[in-house]
Copies of this chain bind each other. A is one copy, B any other.
Amino acid sequence: MDSDYGVPRELSEVQRKRALYQPELPPCLQVRVLPLLPLFLLAATLRPSPDSRPRSVAWQTARRQIPCSLPCRIGLTGADGVYGAHVISHAFPHTYGQPLAHFLRKTANVPDATVISEHPTVRVGVVFCGRQSPGGHNVIWGLHEAIKAHNPKSKLIGFLGGTDGLLAQKTLEITDEVLSSYKNQGGYDMLGRTKDQIRTKEQVNGTMASCQALKLDALVIIGGRLCGINLCIFHLLVNDMTIIIEQVVGVPVTLNGDLKNQFVETTVGFDTICKVNSQLISNVCTDALSAEKYYYFIRLMGRKASHVALECALQSHPNMVILGEEVAASKLTIFDITKQICDAVQARAEKDKNHGVVLIPEGLVESIPEFYALLQEIHGLHGKGVSMENISSQLSPWASALFEFLPPFIRKQLLLHPESDDSAQLSQIETEKLLAQLVETEMNKRLKEGTYKGKKFNAICHFFGYQARGALPSKFDCDYAYVSSSLTYYLDISYFFAPAVHMASVDLKGKAFELLRNNSTNFLMEDIYRNPGPLQFEGPGADSKPISLCVEDQDYMGRIKKLQEYLEKVKSIVKPGCSQDVLKAALSAMSSLTETLAIMTSSSTGQSPPL
């Protein structure tokens, strides 16, 4: 490939200034003289093993301050339920059941803390796998700094052209020079990316062959959920290639924000995408309010989950946002959704408002039950090798009825081949146009019948995605990406058995959703549009974080610490010398609590994975 990967780029004034930005490290990562401590290095030195192979460890988001080490069961959540603990422990012998690793502040004084003194030379490979997301380059930069600080003889080898380059062993050694024009810059163009996954046996074998041929001690895969991290590790697992399993580190870099748990707040890139999109949504809101004649239907890239749509709604306060998770939970049909929008348009028209902004996550189409069923049938027929032209004739009568009802442009898009995870090609399905068209038809009907007396309904449709993916990363993402190679996350193997279930979907019981719901009537009727402005690198707004992260209390470790404080307090009260009543009350309460927790714990590990 006569490619431009890795060549120095001419930078604009803003880019040059950004390239000079030194990401801020969280205090917990300001250890010793090392700016960073990548996972595998830490694992290798923490617990030397006979074969001296590095290990993967799940730990808490690097952005948090972790003042002390807490023992905690390492988790491959969901996996136990599917495979049983022995399969997992066999596949991950150096990881499974290990305590959580914690980074300590420089000044922390923890008696049993392990001090790292060994600095072996390592060769680490890195590859972009999956769709570009702002911050990808900083993951590599952070990794490079950490490796070199540890041992200047260590090498970081980038694979050129994504997984194709990984299989073809096309490499570029990452140096300061190579990095210089990519620091804090958007895109994946330093190394490029191709396919989205390492899935087939050939791909897995090829990956192994490359790692062995290049004598790699570890491989870092930068990507999202769909695109490889889990898939790769999973496939290495099911192929029983335990020999390299624990050397593969996945870094969750995806704009979708759909890889998170109690340890990982969000994915690298999510913040930037939401800021860039919110800017544009706000501009459209202002436009709507200025001209007062259009309804804007805006579909947002973000795959199955509606995190991007939720965050953008919290940032820009559009009139409506239709979250896939809510539609799925309420089992709303396309007609229910159309009616909801039409009723909103009518209610607004009664207040003389003939404009509005509606956000739609790209995953919505798969959340609508009848569309999901139709897509499943189509994909099933694809799987059987039925050609695109013949699919419609082989649909079940019910699916066929829906299919024939739809406008031609949507039919064509629904017939596209599914993605590598069997989901529909969401970026290609113009749900916003379908909804706009259905709403227009219904409003025209109501106008004719006289039930609607407002102005003629006019819609303008947008899809925001590609224009944000390549954006310069926000300060949050620059910092987060830079330290994120020191960050991995719970593998949730049940992902692979329930591709249509939103595993890291929007939590309908979470505080972010609650905030949205509490404001939805105001948002709908009052046009209290909010404009966060364009992504800033200096001045106000430059340090802002996603609102959904701020309101969602994900301070898991903080809460565990709080619990320990309570336990200590009880201990200090209930000691020899306390009254019988105090002892009795404490005993009764703690007995009841432990019993409850025991039941909860056993049912949670024994439960079936969602289907």
Query: Interface of A with B (CB < 8 Å)?
Result: 1-4, 10-18, 128, 131-132, 161, 185-189, 192-194, 276, 279-280, 282-287, 289-293, 296, 351-353, 460, 462, 464, 466-472, 527-528, 530-541, 544
Contacts and interface: CB of A to CB of B under 8 A. Distances in A.
Contact of A527 (B4, B282, B538): B4
B296 A466 contact: yes
A180 B142 CA distance: 44
A467 B534 contact: no
Given A471-B534, A541-B13, A291 B193 contact: yes
B283 A3 contact: no
Contact of A18 (B13, B284, B351, B533): B533
A276 B537 contact: no
Contacts of A527: 4
A528 B283 contact: no
A18 B536 CA distance: 12
B296 A12 contact: no
Nearest to A18: B533
Given A283-B276, A539-B537, A540-B17, A132 B466 contact: no
A239 to B, nearest CB: 28
A540 B296 contact: no
A185 B538 CA distance: 19
Contacts of A1: 352
Contacts of A540: 13-14, 16-17
A284 B471 CA distance: 8
18 contacts: A2-B351, A10-B528, A11-B531, A12-B532, A12-B541, A14-B534, A14-B536, A128-B290, A132-B291, A186-B283, A189-B289, A192-B289, A276-B283, A283-B468, A286-B471, A287-B469, A462-B467, A472-B533
B17 A192 contact: no
B538 A536 contact: yes
A287 B187 contact: yes
A552 B368 CA distance: 54
Nearest to A427: B460
Contacts of A282: 470
A547 to B, nearest CB: 11
A406 B315 CA distance: 42
Contact of A533 (B12, B131, B189, B469): B12
Nearest to A11: B531
Contacts of A466: 283-284, 287, 296, 460, 462
Nearest to A535: B534
A296 B470 CA distance: 13
B283 A541 contact: no
A530 B471 contact: no
Contacts of A351: 2
A189 B353 CA distance: 13
Nearest to A12: B532
Nearest to A1: B352
A137 to B, nearest CB: 10
A611 to B, nearest CB: 33
A466 B284 CA distance: 6
B280 A533 contact: no
Contacts of A161: 292
B283 A467 contact: yes
A12 B472 contact: no
A238 to B, nearest CB: 28
A161 B539 CA distance: 34
Nearest to A136: B290
A14 B128 CA distance: 34
Closest 4 CB pairs of A and B: A286-B470, A14-B533, A187-B286, A287-B470
B541 A14 contact: yes
A188 B282 CA distance: 14
Nearest to A532: B12
Contacts of A536: 14, 534, 536-538
A186 B286 contact: yes
B12 A284 contact: no
Given A286-B189, A287-B470, A470-B285, A292 B539 contact: no
Contacts of A128: 290
A291 to B, nearest CB: 6
A440 B466 CA distance: 20
For A3, A536, A538, A544, the residue with the greatest tally of chain B CB atoms inside 10 Å of its CB is: A536
Contacts of A276: 283, 534
For A14, A16, A290, A528, the residue with the greatest tally of chain B CB atoms inside 10 Å of its CB is: A290
Contacts of A469: 283, 287
A283 B194 CA distance: 18
Contacts of A15: 531, 533
Given A192-B290, A528-B10, A472 B534 contact: yes
A189 B285 CA distance: 10
A1 B284 CA distance: 21
A520 B196 CA distance: 33
B534 A279 contact: yes
Contact of A12 (B18, B131, B531, B539): B531
A283 B186 CA distance: 8
For A285, A351, A352, A534, the residue with the greatest tally of chain B CB atoms inside 10 Å of its CB is: A534
Nearest to A472: B533
For A351, A532, A540, the residue with the greatest tally of chain B CB atoms inside 10 Å of its CB is: A540
Given A351-B2, A541-B13, A472 B290 contact: no
Contact of A283 (B4, B12, B471): B471
Contacts of A192: 289-292
